[in-house]
């Protein structure tokens, strides 16, 4: 029996932009998906998904999950081995929180342990990236990197990718609000690519601004200038709205969090549903924002970054 885990994540800056080589800041959160892998006598691979999940998520992602698992097994050269894979953990499977990446990492680690493959963390990350293609088509690599390594990460896609681990003096409280909408990340990525090709001049300006915002955000994060960091989050959300990956519920929760006192708020993840994130240093503010979101009938998750 092999066991593995993968961390959930929150993208603080530049989802979608990161696909095109613009830097991103991402943090693991203190929730995870677990996987248990066992050999069995039936001539097939069985996936038993016991994760808690947003309503409709598992059904919506069933085809993607199958493709992802096939890619992982092929990458690890285990596609002809009869296995039972059981997913669990305390990370709610939902859009925008890195659920797919967390499961890919957990499965890769569990298979690695079961077959004594002795893969490095870098190799586990590469397997998870291959699995992410089943969900996202052309993933940036930022989700699986956070799910593999944990912590707070500066990530830039390239050849090779650039990953810098960031350290802040004190962990920061955040609130993540779930719209309850299961998002099609593949479609969102495809739409951005098509619009970028159709309106190259407009999108070049937006992408340049996104790069400026994340550079400024990194400075604010490292100097612990939380007011400035929050403003950068607000600007980043505006840019994500311009490339049409937000929606009515995300914009509502973002505005609600700001009005309740959050220093900044934005969508997080693929957009078109899933989660938003609000910067809420201090337990009092975190609780206040979480309650405001809950009162409106949405699910609020209180967690921390930079742990």
* Catalytic sites, residue numbers: 143
Q: Which of 29, 37, 38 is nearest to 7 (CA)?
A: 29
Q: Are strands 45-49 and 83-89 parallel, antiparallel or unpaired?
A: parallel
Would you state the structure tokens that stand for residue 204, as one six-digit string? 């070049």
CA distance 8 to 30: 7
Exposure of 43 in the CB half-sphere (CA atoms within 13 A):
0
CA distances from 90 to 7, 53, 190 (A): 10, 10, 30
Q: Which residue has the tokens 């002809």?
A: 80
Residue 145 has a CB neighbour count (10 Å cut-off) of 24
3-class SS of residue 48: strand
CA distances from 282 to 26, 31, 76, 256 (A): 20, 20, 43, 18
Q: Is the peptide bond before 175 cis (omega within 30 degrees of 0)?
A: no
Which neighbouring-strand residues pair with 178?
A: 275, 299
CA distance 215 to 17: 13
CA distance 105 to 123: 10
Name the DSSP class of 50: -
Q: Which of 186, 28, 183, 3 is nearest to 102 (CA)?
A: 28
């Amino acid at each position: 029996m092999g066991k593995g885990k993968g961390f959930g994540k929150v993208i603080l800056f530049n989802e979608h932009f990161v696909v095109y080589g613009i830097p991103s800041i991402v943090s693991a959160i203190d929730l995870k998906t677990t996987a248990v892998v066992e050999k069995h006598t039936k001539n097939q691979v069985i996936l038993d998904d016991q994760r808690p999940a947003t309503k409709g998520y598992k059904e919506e992602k069933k085809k993607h999950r199958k493709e992802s698992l096939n890619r992982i097994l092929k990458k690890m050269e285990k596609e002809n081995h009869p296995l039972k894979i059981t997913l669990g953990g305390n990370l709610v499977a939902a859009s925008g929180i890195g659920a797919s990446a967390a499961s890919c990492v957990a499965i890769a680690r569990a298979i690695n342990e079961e077959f004594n493959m002795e893969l490095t963390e870098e190799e586990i990350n590469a397997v998870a990236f291959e699995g992410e293609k089943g969900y996202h088509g052309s993933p940036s690599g930022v989700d699986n990197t956070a799910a593999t390594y944990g912590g707070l990460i500066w990530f830039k896609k390239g050849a090779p990718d650039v990953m810098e681990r960031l350290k802040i003096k004190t962990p920061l409280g955040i609130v993540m609000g779930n719209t309850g909408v299961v998002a099609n990340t593949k479609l969102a990525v495809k739409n951005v690519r098509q619009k970028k090709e159709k309106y190259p001049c407009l999108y070049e300006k937006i992408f340049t601004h996104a790069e400026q915002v994340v550079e400024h955000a990194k400075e604010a994060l490292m100097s612990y200038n939380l007011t400035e960091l929050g403003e950068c989050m607000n600007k980043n959300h505006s840019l994500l709205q311009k490339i049409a990956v937000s929606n009515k519920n995300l914009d509502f929760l973002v505005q609600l969090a700001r009005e309740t006192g959050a220093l900044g708020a934005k969508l997080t993840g693929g957009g078109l549903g899933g989660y938003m994130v609000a910067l809420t240093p201090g337990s009092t503010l975190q609780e206040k924002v979480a309650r405001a979101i809950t009162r409106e009938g949405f699910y609020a998750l209180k967690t921390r970054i930079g742990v």
